[in-house]
């Protein structure tokens, strides 16, 4: 009973600081577990706490290993990429996310009208399926909970297939969720955020789960299962999803929140409560600086935590690929400018391109759009603080994420960055289309024509036409015309750049990819190293507290002893 009282108190604190729907507990001399489950509003409060805890599922150290980077200034990230290890804790995923989900599932009968609890149970199923999938991707072998009392239990690790089977079971149950556009809260109001589970999100979870299991468990029959769930999404069986019309809208609309292309995302919205939002959702924020962010340490000539060079970008993206100009700010610019308002001290950035006829000035406004200002670069009270020649700058300036949020405090002469005011997109339709292409190539009876059709649908948006349909001259030059699987991997690499997919794409494609596509340290791994868990994170010390059944990952135990 004590653990439940503790959780209810934590729930109360959650809503006091961060949620519009406070828990309304009946007055009693002592807070009791049984007194809480009285209304659908209480169930809604539980669900809100579950949703708040879902951000614990998003943070992923593998993002920083799999991303493409030519220079890294943070020694911790360098060590991580050099297989020096990273100790992370899964405690919050168990003690919060899974425990909140179990509280909903286990206490349906306590509510006066249990039949009304099914929507909440389905949301809990989705949360558990996603969480166990993330746990299996992060650590491989992990414990499987037996209810809402994880911190009172001694649990051994389960095998990877066992954990993935549990994740799959919950995801299949979550497939009974309504389509996103049909989701309602307890008042009958539509749910506005795509962080909630939906039929489409459950299908995307199953698609990725089966694709991962096909590769990791070496069960080729699962490629067809993964393809099936991708097709359900693409053909509209699980809700309405559509590709944004061009790469610029991917940046300004899809990467923002709740777009038609987005299937599931981790919400991050300053309008809820900016002081409790999670900037760490974005490992990729370490790439972002000028011309999106205005701090002095984010100028074009300063070093960023992660840098990707223009030479790398130009090698990856053809000039006619619209993603090149959308994802990177002013890669062909002549000059970058810092413009300052002399009255407010507010800084903005722009760049210029001379096309031989005239000089155009591009400015990213606070709505995330790159606007062109002709002959009116400076407004009243504005002056150019500094100018940088693009030719002297090695790195490409990442502009895929457009929505930094700043606050002007009285004590500071300049605005202060608070957070990225945009969701972290976990799955979107372009990802699912390219995943289906991969499944079609890799299943027991390959469907090359279907895979090529999926690949081309993403290329046609990227180029605005079908001039780069597979196999094109560029595929021939890159050796991809005879390797459709690699061509699909390269397309995912470009389309989903900075979105956290690349590490898992590499691992899913096999050990040869691991040794050639990840940082150089991974090329030294033996088959036995990989078999023993080198591609997973070290189990954090907290998992061993009061649990003599816990064991360290075999590879990391051997490496560190």
Closest of 422, 418, 455 to residue 259, by C-alpha: 422
Q: Is residue 493 part of a domain?
A: no
The residue from 382, 405, 422 where one domain ends is: 422
What pLDDT is recorded for position 561?
A: 83
Q: Is residue 444 part of a domain?
A: no
Structural domain boundaries, residue 363: 279-422
* Statement to judge: residues 139 and 211 lie in one domain: yes
Q: How far is CA 65 from CA 157, 395, 434, 504, 522, in A?
A: 25, 19, 22, 10, 10
Closest of 180, 189, 202 to residue 259, by C-alpha: 180
Q: Tally the C-alpha atoms within 13 A of residue 455's C-alpha that lie toward its C-beta.
A: 30
Residue, of 404 and 375, whose pLDDT is higher? 404
What pLDDT is recorded for position 152?
A: 54
Q: Is residue 261 part of a domain?
A: no
User: What's the rounded Cα separation, in Å, for the pair 35 and 253?
Assistant: 44
- C-beta of residue 543 within 8 angstroms of C-beta of residue 90: yes
* Statement to judge: residues 213 and 301 lie in one domain: no
> Which pLDDT tens digit goes with each residue over 325-351?
999 999 999 999 988 888 887 788 888
What's the whole-number average pLDDT of the chain?
88
Flag the least confident range among 182-186, 292-296, 377-381, 445-449: 377-381
* Statement to judge: residues 339 and 287 lie in one domain: yes
pLDDT tier for residue 15 given thresholds of 50, 70 and 90: very low
Is the pLDDT score of 42 beyond 60? yes
Residue, of 166 and 405, whose pLDDT is higher? 166
* R_g (Cα) of the chain, nearest Å: 24
Q: Is residue 326 part of a domain?
A: yes
User: What's the rounded Cα separation, in Å, for the pair 451 and 484?
Assistant: 8
What pLDDT is recorded for position 362?
A: 86
- C-beta of residue 329 within 8 angstroms of C-beta of residue 291: yes
∠ CA(512), CA(61), CA(125), 5° rounding? 100
Flag the least confident range among 107-111, 198-202, 555-559: 107-111
* Statement to judge: residues 94 and 142 lie in one domain: yes
The residue from 389, 422, 455 where one domain ends is: 422
Q: Is residue 212 part of a domain?
A: yes
Is the pLDDT score of 237 beyond 50? yes
What pLDDT is recorded for position 345?
A: 79
Is the pLDDT score of 375 beyond 60? no
Flag the least confident range among 228-232, 248-252, 367-371, 488-492: 367-371
- C-beta of residue 258 within 8 angstroms of C-beta of residue 250: no
Main-chain dihedrals φ then ψ at residue 407, nearest 5 degrees? -130, 140
Is the pLDDT score of 278 beyond 80? no
The residue from 382, 406, 422 where one domain ends is: 422
Written as six digits, the tokens of 328 are 């990177």
Please enumerate in sequence order all residues whose Cβ is within 8 A of that of 315, keeping only pairs 6 or more positions apart, or say none: none
What pLDDT is recorded for position 474?
A: 96
Is the pLDDT score of 2 beyond 60? no
How many C-beta neighbours within 10 Å does residue 217 have?
13
Q: Is residue 374 part of a domain?
A: yes
What pLDDT is recorded for position 163?
A: 98
Q: Is residue 115 part of a domain?
A: yes
* Statement to judge: residues 161 and 17 lie in one domain: yes
Is the pLDDT score of 29 beyond 70? no
DSSP 540: P
Question: Is the pTM value of this prediction over 0.75?
Answer: yes
User: What's the rounded Cα separation, in Å, for the pair 475 and 101?
Assistant: 47
Is the pLDDT score of 506 beyond 90? yes
Please enumerate in sequence order all residues whose Cβ is within 8 A of that of 397, keeping only pairs 6 or more positions apart, or say none: 289, 290, 291, 292, 300, 328, 329, 330, 331, 336
pLDDT tier for residue 26 given thresholds of 50, 70 and 90: very low
* Statement to judge: residues 233 and 305 lie in one domain: no
* Statement to judge: residues 10 and 125 lie in one domain: yes
Beta bridge partners of 389: 335
Q: Is residue 461 part of a domain?
A: no
Is the pLDDT score of 35 beyond 70? no
Helix, coil or strand: residue 307: strand
Is the pLDDT score of 18 beyond 50? no
Flag the least confident range among 204-208, 525-529, 541-545, 550-554: 541-545
Strand 335-341 relative to strand 347-354: parallel, antiparallel, unpaired?
antiparallel
What pLDDT is recorded for position 271?
A: 66
- Asked if residue 291 has a cis previous peptide bond (ω within 30° of 0), the answer is yes
User: What's the rounded Cα separation, in Å, for the pair 447 and 255?
Assistant: 31
Phi/psi-derived region of residue 380, left when phi > 0, alpha when psi is between -120 and 50, beta in every other case: beta
H or E stretch at 535: none
- C-beta of residue 214 within 8 angstroms of C-beta of residue 222: yes
CATH assignment of the domain containing 229? 1.25.40.390
Flag the least confident range among 88-97, 120-129, 463-472: 88-97
Give how many domains the chain has, as a whole number. 2
């Amino acid at each position: 009973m004590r653990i439940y009282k503790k959780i209810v108190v934590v729930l109360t604190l959650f809503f006091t600081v961060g949620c519009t729907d406070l828990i309304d507990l009946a007055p009693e001399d002592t807070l009791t577990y049984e007194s809480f489950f009285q209304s659908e509003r209480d169930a809604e409060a539980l669900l809100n706490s579950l949703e708040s805890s879902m951000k614990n599922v998003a943070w992923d150290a593998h993002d920083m290993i799999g991303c493409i980077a030519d220079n890294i200034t943070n020694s911790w990230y360098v060590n991580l990429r050099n297989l020096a290890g990273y100790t992370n804790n899964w405690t919050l995923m168990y003690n919060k996310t899974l425990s909140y989900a179990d509280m909903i599932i286990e206490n349906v009968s306590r509510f006066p009208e249990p039949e009304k609890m099914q929507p909440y149970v389905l949301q809990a199923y989705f949360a558990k399926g996603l969480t166990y999938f993330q746990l299996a991707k992060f650590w491989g072998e992990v414990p499987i909970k037996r209810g809402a009392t994880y911190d009172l239990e001694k649990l051994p690790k389960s095998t990877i297939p066992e954990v993935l089977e549990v994740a799959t079971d919950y995801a299949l149950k979550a497939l009974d969720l309504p389509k996103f556009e049909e989701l309602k809260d307890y008042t009958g109001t539509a749910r506005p955020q795509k962080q909630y589970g939906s039929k489409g999100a459950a299908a995307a979870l199953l698609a990725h789960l089966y694709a991962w299991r096909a590769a990791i468990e070496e069960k080729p029959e699962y490629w067809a299962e993964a393809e099936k769930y991708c097709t359900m999404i693409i053909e509209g069986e699980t809700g309405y999803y559509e590709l944004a019309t061009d790469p610029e809208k991917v940046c300004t609309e899809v990467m923002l929140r709740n777009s038609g292309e987005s299937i599931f995302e981790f919400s991050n919205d300053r309008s809820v409560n900016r002081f409790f939002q999670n900037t760490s959702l974005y490992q990729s924020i370490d790439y972002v600086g000028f011309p999106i962010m205005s701090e002095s340490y984010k100028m074009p000539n300063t070093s960023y935590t992660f840098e990707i060079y223009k030479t790398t970008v130009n090698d990856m993206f053809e000039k006619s690929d619209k993603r090149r100009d959308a994802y990177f700010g002013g890669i062909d610019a002549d000059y970058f400018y810092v413009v300052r308002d002399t009255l407010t001290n507010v800084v903005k950035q722009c760049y210029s391109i001379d096309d031989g006829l005239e000089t155009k000035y591009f400015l990213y406004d606070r709505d995330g759009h790159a606007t062109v200002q002709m002959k009116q670069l400076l407004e009243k009270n504005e002056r150019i603080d500094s100018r940088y020649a693009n030719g002297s700058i090695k790195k490409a300036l990442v502009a895929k994420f457009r929505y930094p949020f700043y606050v002007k405090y009285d004590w500071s002469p300049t605005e202060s960055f608070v957070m990225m005011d945009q969701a972290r997109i976990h799955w979107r339709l372009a990802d699912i289309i390219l995943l289906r292409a991969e499944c079609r190539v890799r299943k027991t009876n390959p469907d090359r024509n279907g895979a090529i059709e999926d690949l081309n649908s993403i290329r046609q948006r990227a180029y605005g036409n079908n001039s780069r349909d597979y196999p094109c001259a560029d595929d021939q030059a890159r050796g991809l015309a005879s390797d459709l699987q690699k061509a699909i991997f390269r397309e995912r690499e470009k389309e989903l750049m900075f979105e956290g997919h690349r590490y898992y794409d590499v691992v899913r494609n096999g050990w040869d990819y691991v040794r050639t596509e990840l940082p150089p340290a991974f090329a030294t791994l033996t088959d036995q190293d990989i078999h023993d868990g080198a591609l997973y994170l070290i189990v954090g010390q907290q998992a061993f507290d009061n649990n003599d059944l816990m064991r360290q990952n075999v590879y990391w135990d051997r490496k560190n002893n």
